[in-house]
């Protein structure tokens, strides 16, 4: 064999060896990295889009995690939901995980949910979603408010979110998000059925008896057409007239 041919063979062998080592390292890294991923239940309310193919739920996570991913596994009779949570690698034991964040996450189905059962992969419980076609939308919002990619001013005060007993959804809007004292938030909480009456000042929304509360945020709550509706606000610049106008101009 000529000298150049032998050199070429050696280079090819070395290249193959390097490729094998790199492949092994990558596969080892992927396997090790995936060891930090675990399945978690979907604790919050679930919204089904109008076409039946997009599922949305609110999630919370700490600074020690990546943003959770919502996955949906389909069969002919069921759609099974699971949250994929991933803890950051190289974190020392005993790391304090603060910096809570919350956002909405979605999963897209190949086919509409239809009459298939929606279940939680971890708990095995049935998930009864809220239909987007039944959502109440604001006919009026003050200038500067835009839809928020999170659920603000919900029924739940802790973390993570907890699914309500009957299908519900919170639609939130923000003004000047991250603007400190100049920021504002408005949420519309819609719960199927009549919830227990809350204390507060008596009021009327479009002929329906309502209650107004001022703590922990301003809220007006009433029952209408099969749903308990609550408009809530944390905005020191929002006047009482504007606040009531939001409630009075909700449209389903």
What pLDDT does residue 33 have? 44
71 and 173 share one domain: no
Please write the tens of the pLDDT for every residue from 159-183. 446 788 899 999 999 998 877 778 8
73 and 180 share one domain: no
59 and 159 share one domain: no
170 and 247 share one domain: yes
139 and 232 share one domain: yes
- Whether the per-residue pLDDT at 56 is higher than 50: the answer is yes
Q: How far is CA 116 from CA 46, 54, 107, 138, in A?
A: 15, 14, 16, 31
166 and 102 share one domain: no
Distance CA 44, CA 159 (A): 10
E strands in the chain: 37-40, 47-48, 54-61, 69-74, 78-86, 101-108, 117-120, 130-131, 137-138, 145-147, 168-175, 184-192, 201-205, 208-213, 218-224, 227-234, 250-251
Last residue of a domain, one of 79, 108, 130: 130
For 41, the token pair is 């239940």
213 and 144 share one domain: yes
- Residues 109, 54 contacting (CB under 8 angstroms): yes
CA dihedral 56, 60, 62, 65 (to 10 degrees): -20
Please write the tens of the pLDDT for every residue from 60-105. 888 888 899 999 999 999 999 999 998 887 777 777 887 788 899 9
Confidence of residue 5 (pLDDT cuts 50, 70, 90): low
154 and 231 share one domain: yes
Domains identified in the chain, total number: 3
Confidence of residue 213 (pLDDT cuts 50, 70, 90): very high
44 and 123 share one domain: yes
What pLDDT does residue 155 have? 62
- Whether the per-residue pLDDT at 25 is higher than 90: the answer is no
Domain hosting residue 52, numbered range: 37-130
94 and 21 share one domain: no
pTM as predicted: 0.81
């Amino acid at each position: 064999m000529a000298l150049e041919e032998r050199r070429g063979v050696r280079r090819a062998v070395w290249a193959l060896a390097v490729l094998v080592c790199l492949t092994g390292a990558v596969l080892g890294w992927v396997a090790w990295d995936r060891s930090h991923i675990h399945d978690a239940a979907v604790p919050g309310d679930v919204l089904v889009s109008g076409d039946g193919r997009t599922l949305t739920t609110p999630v919370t996570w700490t600074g020690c995690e990546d943003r959770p991913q919502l996955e949906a596994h389909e069969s002919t009779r069921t759609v099974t939901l699971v949250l994929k949570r991933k803890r950051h690698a190289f974190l020392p034991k005993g790391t304090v995980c603060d910096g809570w964040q919350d956002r909405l996450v979605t999963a897209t189905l190949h086919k509409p949910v239809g009459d298939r059962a929606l279940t939680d992969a971890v708990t095995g419980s049935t998930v009864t979603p809220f239909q987007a076609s039944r959502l109440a939308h604001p006919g009026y919002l003050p200038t500067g408010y835009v839809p928020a990619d999170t659920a603000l001013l919900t029924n739940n005060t802790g973390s993570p979110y907890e699914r309500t007993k009957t299908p519900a959804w919170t639609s939130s809007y923000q003004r000047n998000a991250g603007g400190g004292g100049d920021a504002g938030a408005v949420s519309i909480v819609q719960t199927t059925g009549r919830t227990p009456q809350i204390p507060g000042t008596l009021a009327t929304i479009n002929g329906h008896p309502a209650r107004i509360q001022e703590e922990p945020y301003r809220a007006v709550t009433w029952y209408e057409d099969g749903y308990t509706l609550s408009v809530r606000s944390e905005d020191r610049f929002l006047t009482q007239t504007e606040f009531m106008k939001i409630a009075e101009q909700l449209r389903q």
